[in-house]
Structure formats: C-alpha cells, structure tokens
C-alpha cells in the first residue's frame, strides 16, 4: 500500500514529505484513511532523539482518527465506513498476565509502539500517523463516536487516555478532591475528565493567565504556583494529585497537600529524577505513583465516556506544511492545547 506522509530523516532534522509502503491487509487487519493526526510532545522528543537512540527515517504520530476503507477476511470488529482510532501502541505479546488483563500498555515483553519501534517480527519498522493511510490489526483499534468533533478526538488517543486512566484507577468521583498540576495538552484533559466524573477539581499552574481557561473547562478552583506559599493553606486537603508537567518540579509542597492515604501520580516525564522526602510520605501514609495511557478496553471505555459527556480536546488544526512550526510552538507551550494535522494535506 503506497502511503504519503511526513518524516524526519535524522535527529533534529526538519520533517518533510515522505512516501513509503505499508503492508497489504492480513486476515485480521483493517485499513483506514487517516482524517486527523495529533501532535504529541513525545513525537518531538523522539524525532529529536531526546529519549535515546531512534530509528530513522521516522514517521511520528500516535493520535490517529480515520475512516475504515477495507477489512481483512477475518475481521468482525469493524465495518467499512466506520470511524476508528489508533493510539500509542499497535501490538503486544497478547499472552502475558498484563495483556490477558487488558493492560497491554504494560505488556511484560513490551508493547509495540505506533512508531519508532520494530513490529513483532523484529524487522518491520513501525511508521506512525503523520500519513494519509494506516493498517492495523483490529484488536488494537477502537470505535469513535461519530457525533464528536473529530479533530478534537485525535489527542484523546494519547493525551486523553493518559489522564482518564489514573482518574479511573484512583476512583475519581463525587466527594473526591482532585488537583491537576499543569494546564497543557495533558492537564486540560485531566480537568475535563475529573469534572465530568464529579470530583471537586483544582488546577495548579505557573501561568495565572490560564485561570479563565481552567474555569471554562469546569475547574472549581485555580491556584497560581508562581508563589509556592499559595500551596501552604492547602496542606492535607486532596485525595489525588495528577502531575502532568515534564519540567523539573519540587514535589514536596504538593505531597504536603495530600490527606491521609492520598496519592500523587506522576504523568509527565522530567529531565532528571525527583528528590523525595520519605518522611512526607510516611506522615500521612501518602503514595507516590506513576501511570501511562491505558489498555484497549479502557481506551474504548474512555471514548464512550467522551461520547456521553461530549468531551474532546481543545485543538488547533494545521496543514502538514506547518508541522515544523507546530513543533517549535509546542516546545514553547504556545498552543491551546494540542496541534492536530488535517491528513488531507499530506
């Protein structure tokens, strides 16, 4: 299958038009015309080889929404014409305890990423969603509610599930006090989901000008972190804090805000290890945890929830020719709140 997309051919090089070939349909595969592809900050890290050695040429992109154009002979999950989504991984071992429990993202052998990795055959390089067509095993794609704004759905495939998963795991619900640290591509989804789940939601941001956006998204409270003293009056107030920022951050004042048995979940990836005061954890039986994306079943659950609550990401839709500028603006936090590529422009 001939495909047009955008690729980066070496670390830190600019992305440019690129033509390549995807496999023809296997019996359990579905083919789709990509409609929209989100730009995730992790795309930038990998394209710029900031997370270790990468595979080039690289077609990034793991926030994919498209329309099914063909199905393999054994496919029963999807029909031609349906809108489907593809997220951060396209395969896993399918047999370990994690995969068997619907937690493919924690596959013991390692999930197969949507790009910058080798597929399970150990030979084929996975190429991502900055392209006009895609092929995937039906098991690793999900249905998208058609009533949702499709450009805003694309970031749900990564940013959305990354916040939905910990909120569900730590049981966000009415009566819970939840704090979202950072109001960016990840954090704004955390606000929308926490509010929709009925939790009293507070946004913590170093950008006071984002208060209006936070309130528009449903946040009950906004706290500027430009002055750390603003956190002192909130000690022992929160059941759950989600740290979505990737900048180096002193977690101590945030941990102090957790009540008995409260949890701070790390979602962003900082540049260096955190320094933790063990006494702060012991004092109120607090927990420090981590979380990433969700399995296929939970990804579908999230999309169904979004369909019920009419939740999508706040996006700026761009043509493919603008990808390099979008990368620079993403690094500069100059987007509200995710860039999404219109695949017609490939």
Whether the CA torsion 303, 200, 169, 41 is positive or negative: it is positive
Domain residues for 323? 2-156+314-345
Instruction: Kindly state whether residue 222 falls inside one of the protein's structural domains.
Output: yes
Count structural domains, the chain: 2
pLDDT digits (tens, 9 = 90+) for 10-58: 998 999 999 999 999 999 999 999 999 999 999 999 999 999 999 999 9
In terms of domains, do 208 and 70 share one? no
pLDDT at 270: 82
In terms of domains, do 48 and 122 share one? yes
pLDDT digits (tens, 9 = 90+) for 144-166: 998 999 999 999 999 999 999 99
Q: CATH number of the domain at 56, please.
A: 3.90.180.10
In terms of domains, do 126 and 239 share one? no
pLDDT at 246: 87
In terms of domains, do 148 and 256 share one? no
Instruction: Give the burial class of 72: count Cβ atoms within 10 A of its Cβ; 0-12 exposed, 13-18 middle, 19 or more buried.
Output: middle
CA nearest to 258, candidates 271, 243, 275: 243
pLDDT at 64: 98
In terms of domains, do 165 and 94 share one? no
Q: Cα–Cα distance between 192 and 199 in angstroms, integer?
A: 10
Instruction: Kindly state whether residue 295 falls inside one of the protein's structural domains.
Output: no
In terms of domains, do 145 and 183 share one? no
In terms of domains, do 326 and 269 share one? no
The pTM of this model reads 0.96
Q: CATH number of the domain at 253, please.
A: 3.40.50.720
Instruction: Kindly state whether residue 300 falls inside one of the protein's structural domains.
Output: no
What residue ranges of the chain have pLDDT lower than 50? none
Instruction: Kindly state whether residue 297 falls inside one of the protein's structural domains.
Output: no
Work out the end-to-end distance of the chain between its first and last CA atoms, rounded to an integer number of angstroms. 15
In terms of domains, do 93 and 218 share one? no
Instruction: Kindly state whether residue 52 falls inside one of the protein's structural domains.
Output: yes
In terms of domains, do 181 and 275 share one? yes
In terms of domains, do 133 and 247 share one? no
In terms of domains, do 123 and 170 share one? no
pLDDT at 323: 98
Instruction: Kindly state whether residue 191 falls inside one of the protein's structural domains.
Output: yes
Instruction: Kindly state whether residue 274 falls inside one of the protein's structural domains.
Output: yes
pLDDT digits (tens, 9 = 90+) for 93-108: 999 999 999 999 999 9
In terms of domains, do 120 and 184 share one? no
Instruction: Kindly state whether residue 329 falls inside one of the protein's structural domains.
Output: yes
Q: Cα–Cα distance between 99 and 108 in angstroms, integer?
A: 8
């Amino acid at each position: 299958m001939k495909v047009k997309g955008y690729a980066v051919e070496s670390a830190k090089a600019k992305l440019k038009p690129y033509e390549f070939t995807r496999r023809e349909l296997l019996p359990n595969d579905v083919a789709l015309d990509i409609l929209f592809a989100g730009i995730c900050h992790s795309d930038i890290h990998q394209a710029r080889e900031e997370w270790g050695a990468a595979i080039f040429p690289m077609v990034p992109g793991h926030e994919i929404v498209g329309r099914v154009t063909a199905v393999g002979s054994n496919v029963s999950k999807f029909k031609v014409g349906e809108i489907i989504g593809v997220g951060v991984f396209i395969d896993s071992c399918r047999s370990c305890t994690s995969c068997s429990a619907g937690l493919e993202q924690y596959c013991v052998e390692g999930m197969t990423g949507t790009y910058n990795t080798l597929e399970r055959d150990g030979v084929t390089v996975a190429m991502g969603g900055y392209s006009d067509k895609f092929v995937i095993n039906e098991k690793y794609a999900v249905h998208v509610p058609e009533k949702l704004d499709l450009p805003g759905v694309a970031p749900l495939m990564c940013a959305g599930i990354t916040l939905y998963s910990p909120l569900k795991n730590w049981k966000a619900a009415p009566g819970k006090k939840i704090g979202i640290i950072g109001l960016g591509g990840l954090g704004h989804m955390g606000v929308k989901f926490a509010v929709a789940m009925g939790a009293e939601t507070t946004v913590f941001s170093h950008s006071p000008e984002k208060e209006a956006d936070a309130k528009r998204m449903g946040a009950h409270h906004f706290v500027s972190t430009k002055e750390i003293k603003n956190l002192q009056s909130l000690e022992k107030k929160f059941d759950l804090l989600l740290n979505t920022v990737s900048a180096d951050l002193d977690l101590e004042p945030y941990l102090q805000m957790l009540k008995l048995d409260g949890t701070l979940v790390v979602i962003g990836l900082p540049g260096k290890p955190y320094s933790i005061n063990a006494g702060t954890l012991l004092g109120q039986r607090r927990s420090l945890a981590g979380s990433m994306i969700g399995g296929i079943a939970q990804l579908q659950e999230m999309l169904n929830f979004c369909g019920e609550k009419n939740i999508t990401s706040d996006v700026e839709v761009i043509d493919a020719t603008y990808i390099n500028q979008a990368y620079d603006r993403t690094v500069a936090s100059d987007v509200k709140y995710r860039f999404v590529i219109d695949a017609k422009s490939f």
